[in-house]
């Protein structure tokens, strides 16, 4: 009876809780602004609880992947950080649009907080009006963190457009909510293996 009462109370609280606007979406655990609006690039963002991704959670994975590695399955629009034999944390991601998906195995070669964005020549040719260089900050498309993959131009990174997570509209990078990429960034080591599977 007590559990039934608690479940009904939780549902009532959710139903009557004030809804955050798209302009000020807050991470329910850390309180971090994850809308991409109004964040301070000079402030140290709060650390995630490290238990579950806000937009994903703990799951199982093929035990052939070593703890500390990352597995990206583009068809699922999911990224998995392997925490132990057969276990992983699952995150939702945005992927490359048609013609920009890829597969392969790389190592994490660098990690950067509030990274600078320098669009490559190929991107400038496809999309006129891009800046030559954009400093890290709330308007930067790379978001709060970037994890660099091998010698490629591809990264796992945050985003200034949270609505793009779950979509296929990047130029081949993997986009994450800023709260999720901060959590992943704090877990993954330079040198970790990243498997990208279509």
DSSP string, the chain: -HHHHHHHHHHHHHHHSPPPPGGG-B-TTT--B-SSSS--TTSPPPPP-SSS-TT-EEEE--TTSPTT-EEEEGGGTEEEEEEETTEEEEEE-BEE-TT----EEEEEEEEEES--B---HHHHHHSTT--S-B-SSTT-TTTTEEEEETTSS-EEE--S-GGGTTSEEESS-EE--HHHHHHHHHH--TT-EEEEE-
Rounded-to-integer distance, Cα 76 and Cα 78, Å? 5
> Is 106 in the active site?
no
60 pairs with which residues across the strands? 87
> Is 157 in the active site?
yes
User: Which are the catalytic amino acids?
Assistant: 157, 173
């Amino acid at each position: 009876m007590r559990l039934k009462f608690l479940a009904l109370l939780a549902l009532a609280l959710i139903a009557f809780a004030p809804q955050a606007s798209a302009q000020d979406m807050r991470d329910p655990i850390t309180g971090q602004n994850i809308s991409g609006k109004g964040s301070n690039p000079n402030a140290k963002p709060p650390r995630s609880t490290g238990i579950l991704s806000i937009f994903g959670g703990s799951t199982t994975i093929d035990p052939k992947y070593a703890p500390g590695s990352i597995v990206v399955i583009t068809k699922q629009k999911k990224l998995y950080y392997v925490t132990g034999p057969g276990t992983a944390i699952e995150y939702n991601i945005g992927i490359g649009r048609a013609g920009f998906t890829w597969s392969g195995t790389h190592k994490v070669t660098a990690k950067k907080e509030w990274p600078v964005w320098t669009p490559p020549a190929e991107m400038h040719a496809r999309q006129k009006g891009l800046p030559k260089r954009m400093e890290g900050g709330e308007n930067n498309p790379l978001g709060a963190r970037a994890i660099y993959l091998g010698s490629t131009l591809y990264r796992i990174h945050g985003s200034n457009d949270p609505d793009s997570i779950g979509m296929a509209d990047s130029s081949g990078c993997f986009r994450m909510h800023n709260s999720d990429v901060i959590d992943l960034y704090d877990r993954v080591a330079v040198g970790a293996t990243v498997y990208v599977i279509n």
